[in-house]
Amino acid sequence: MPIVSVAAMAMMEGEGLSGRDVHWMMIFAGVIAVSLVVQAVGVVISGVFAAKLLHRVDGIAVKVDRQTVPILARTHQLLEEIAPKIHGVSENVEQISYTVRARVEEMGATVGELNRTVQEFNGRTRAQVARVDGIVSGALGMTEEIAETVQESIKMPIRQMAGVLAGLKAGLETLVARSPFGR
């Protein structure tokens, strides 16, 4: 609208208006009036559609409100009922966490001590096994020496006895051979 006003003012300031200029102004004023009427009809139609849409949205909102209010109320009630229980559970979980942490620390100390005890026992056992091995090795060595000594002790008299018997045999054979009976 301000542009049309400025154009009209510019035309009036000039030499005057001729009949032809007035005729063109009337045509443009008519075009402007028709376009304003079309705009007004468009605004009215848009308003009607907007009103219908608003009425439908309002109906949907009422339905949603009717359906969600009981659900929200029940949810709120459940949250109020559950909140102390959740608080209690979280306190219990925290207490359990502290207890478990303390037990794990105690268990760690116990396992460490058990490990040291097992290592000490293992060292002692190895020392005892080495000692017993030494004793058994010594006993076996002594047994071998005793067996050799006994063997030599038995062999020597048997050899001597065998020598004596061989000498007796040789002497008897010689005696028998020289005797009058041996011939």
- 145-160 pLDDT tens trace: 888 888 888 878 888 8
pLDDT-derived band at 108 (thresholds 50, 70, 90) equals confident
Q: Is the pLDDT of residue 3 over 80?
A: no
How many other C-beta atoms can be found within 10 angstroms of the C-beta atom of residue 171?
10
Model pTM? 0.34
Range among 7-16, 46-55, 106-115, 144-153 with highest mean pLDDT value: 46-55
Q: Where are the domains of the chain?
A: 1-55, 69-153
Residue that wins the pLDDT comparison between 45 and 159 = 45
- Whole-angstrom distance, CA of residue 60 vs CA of residue 71: 17
Distances (CA, A) of 65 to 51, 59, 75, 79: 20, 10, 15, 20
Close Cβ partners of 25 (under 8 Å, ≥ 6 residues apart): 8, 11, 17
